[in-house]
Structure 1
Amino acid sequence: MIREASLNDLDTCYQIETSAYAGDEAATREKIEKRILTYPEGFLVLELDDEVVALVNAGATDKVEMSDEAFKELIGHDPAGRHIVIMSVAVAPAHQGKGYAGRLLSAFIDRMRTMDKREIHLICQTELIDFYAKYGFEYRCVSDSEHGGLNWHEMTLNLSTGG
């Protein structure tokens, strides 16, 4: 089942986030809590047998700056914003490679279309470019983001044409 996250999911979402992202890449428990509370319609989880195994979360804005670290704390978030910025897509290690990230991402894209959003933006590591391209995301450029001290790539999905 795919549904909005609630505070009951906080600890599990934090565990998934920290197991899926290395070091400074992972959001803190406090950031995850703020994302659930501030924009639940942009925070979806995939649940199997009453266990959350995957998550996707995002914020909305009309001004997209992918290298803006403050946005990861939802500073500048506007629920009415027409552009969605994905902050995390993560699957618990025991459930990786089973298609759950794609299933959740597809549901997230459908939801954002239903909410009349224009575009979805994300940054990803090189090895995930092809994965996101399968869902209609187009490669934009190497990102200015230095999040976690890593190199990132910007991708965008136009919701009126892509996916």
Structure 2
Amino acid sequence: MEITHVIMDDLPDILRIERLGFTPEEAGTEEQYRDRINKLADTFLVAKIDNKVAGFVVGPATKEPYVEDWMYEQTPTNLKTGGHQIIFTIAVDPKYRGRSIGSKLLDAVVENACQAKRESISLTSLDKNVPFYEKNGFENKGVAESEHADEIWYNLVKELDTICDV
């Protein structure tokens, strides 16, 4: 498996994986993913097995410490350095689950965030997925203000000050 930055040719696999892992209300659209690939190439990573996308992680680097609902509709432009790494989506093709691909993608996000001198990595998660993120070093900060897909989301944060070599 290799983890690389996204290219537009990855879009069909990304959309397929997105639809397999999220409800229509939760899932990003093709237009949103095209915009994310164009604006967030530095922070949009794909895991490939035999040159096929097995999973991906995407989100902007922002001044805001948490995911905010408006960000899903208007993709923020990445900060060059500093700020906070937000994760909109992390998803793994169901046929590749159980191989630690999600954890390896999170490790790659940490590495990129450290290189760019980010303060933290944050995401929102449904309750059922919180244990996965806690296992990967994220701290549950409680219920998020998000109303995305009319579900209850939790803010999870991984502070980078003790992780990155400063």
Classify the secondary structure of the residue corresponding to 1:89. strand
1:61 aligned residue: 62
Task: Give TM-score, length-normalised by structure 2.
Answer: 0.91
Change (3 A) 1:76 1:51: closer
Q: Deviations over 1:6-31 (max 9, x none)?
A: 10101111111111111211110111
Deviations 1:80-118 (A, max 9, x none): 351111000001111122211111111111111111111
Which moved further from structure 2: 80-89 or 30-39? Answer: 80-89
Shift of 1:130: 1.5
Superposed CA RMSD in Å reads 1.6
- Percent of aligned positions with the same letter in both sequences? 28
Whether 1:85 and 2:86 are equivalent positions in the alignment is yes
Which residue does the alignment assign to 2:71?
71
Q: Which amino acid aligns with 1:73?
A: E
Say which SS state the counterpart of residue 139 (structure 1) adopts: strand
Residue segments in structure 1 that go unaligned for 5+ positions in a row: none
Query: Runs (4+) of structure 1 moved beyond 3 Å?
Result: 73-78
Q: Is the 8 A contact 1:39 1:79 kept in 2?
A: no
Distance 1:89 1:153 in 2: 15
User: Which residue identity does 1:54 align to in structure 2?
Assistant: G
SS in 1 for 2:60: strand
| 2:108 aligned with 1:107 | yes
2:66·2:123 contact (CA, 8 Å) conserved in 1? no
Residue 23 of structure 1: SS of its match in structure 2?
A: coil
For structure 2, list consecutive stretches of 5 or more residues without a partner in the other structure. Answer: none
Q: Is the 8 A contact 1:71 1:77 kept in 2?
A: no
1:52 match: 53
Q: Distance in 2 between matches of 1:7 and 1:142?
A: 34
Aligned AA (1:79): L
- SS of corresponding position for 1:24: coil
2:38 alignment partner AA: L
Contact 2:11/2:33 (<8 A) preserved? yes
Give the paired residue count. Answer: 162
Q: Pairwise mapping of residues 14-163 of structure 1 onto structure 2 (< 5 A)?
A: 14-66=15-67, 68-80=68-80, 82-162=83-163
So what's the TM-score if we normalise by structure 1?
0.92
